[in-house]
């Protein structure tokens, strides 16, 4: 499965975004590096805007030109599969271990039903097990209210503050 990252340069067509992907190529004889840009027509159901950085994957053909679709962005309350990059040797989670995490804070603002927005200073997630319970015993920092609404009351009760 091919996965590309690129920048949206046009959203004028219905449910279609034009994404430009830059890559650096080395000249075979001279050894100089130069930049190549290729444009892809991508199926867009997330209403991306011009200038957004998106990740898109190969999919079934939507039309003659569209064979790609934009991947879903994770937000607060979503469960994501991750790999641990840096772990304490004495901790419960080992380095390079595949884990499921619940996103509890994001720097990108979240729009609530009442029209207000909430955003945090950092991105944070909690490692959970298969049943949805946290593998740790404490949660540092505030947690968004959307985590409790998503059904993770145990994680919301461990947090000092629910915003």
Structure confidence by residue, pLDDT tens digits, 37-86? 999 999 998 889 999 989 898 888 888 888 888 877 788 999 999 999 88
- Residue 140: helix, strand or coil by DSSP? coil
Local confidence band at 1 (pLDDT 50, 70, 90 cut-offs): low
With a threshold of 0.95, does the pTM exceed it? no
Q: Domains in the chain and their CATH numbers? A: 3-70 (2.40.50.140), 79-158 (2.40.150.20)
Of the chain, the percentage scoring pLDDT greater than 90 comes to 68
């Amino acid at each position: 499965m091919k996965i590309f990252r690129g920048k949206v340069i046009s959203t004028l067509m219905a449910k279609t975004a034009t994404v430009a992907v830059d890559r650096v190529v080395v000249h075979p004889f001279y050894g100089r590096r130069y930049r190549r840009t290729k444009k892809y027509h991508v199926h867009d159901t997330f209403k991306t805007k011009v200038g957004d950085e998106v990740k898109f994957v190969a999919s079934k053909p939507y039309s003659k030109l569209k064979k790609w679709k934009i991947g879903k962005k994770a937000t607060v309350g979503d469960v994501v599969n991750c790999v641990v990059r840096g772990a304490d040797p004495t901790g419960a989670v080992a380095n390079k271990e595949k884990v499921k995490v619940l996103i509890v804070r994001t720097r990108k603002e979240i729009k609530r039903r009442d029209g207000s927005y909430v955003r945090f200073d950092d991105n944070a997630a909690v490692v959970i097990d298969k049943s949805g319970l946290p593998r740790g015993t404490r949660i540092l920092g505030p947690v968004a209210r959307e985590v409790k609404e998503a059904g993770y009351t145990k994680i919301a009760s461990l947090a000092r503050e629910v915003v």
